[in-house]
């Protein structure tokens, strides 16, 4: 079920970016990341959408959240 949500969020996000609805694409990626926060694909979609929307601060926040998640996961594996 989670993979289906991630796939739909990704496809919807790509379609919205192609339609120049960057805010909608960011929203789609954000919903997908709420279900699967570790999705590299949705992370990339969210950053792309934020940058296409001209929101570099949001892109940086997304990058920081993802880096923090990866750091947390790595510390749990040690």
Please give the residue range of the domain that contains residue 24: 2-77
Query: CB of 49 within 8 A of CB of 19?
Result: no
pLDDT band at 73 (very low <50, low <70, confident <90, very high): confident
Give the CATH number, domain containing residue 12.
1.25.40
Express each pLDDT in 2-42 by its tens digit. Answer: 999 999 999 999 999 999 999 999 999 999 999 999 999 99
- State pTM to two decimals: 0.88
How many domains does the structure of the chain reveal? 1
Residue 68 neighbours by CB under 8 Å, 6+ apart: none
Report the C-alpha gap between 8 and 41 in whole angstroms.
Answer: 12
Give the pLDDT of residue 78.
Answer: 55
What DSSP state is assigned to residue 78? -
């Amino acid at each position: 079920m989670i993979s289906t949500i991630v796939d739909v969020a990704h496809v919807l996000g790509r379609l919205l970016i192609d339609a120049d609805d960057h805010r909608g694409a960011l929203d789609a990626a954000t919903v997908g990341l709420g279900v699967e926060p570790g999705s590299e694909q949705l992370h990339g979609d969210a950053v792309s959408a934020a940058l296409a929307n001209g929101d570099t601060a949001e892109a940086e926040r997304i990058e920081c959240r993802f880096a923090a998640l990866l750091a947390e996961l790595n510390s749990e594996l040690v």
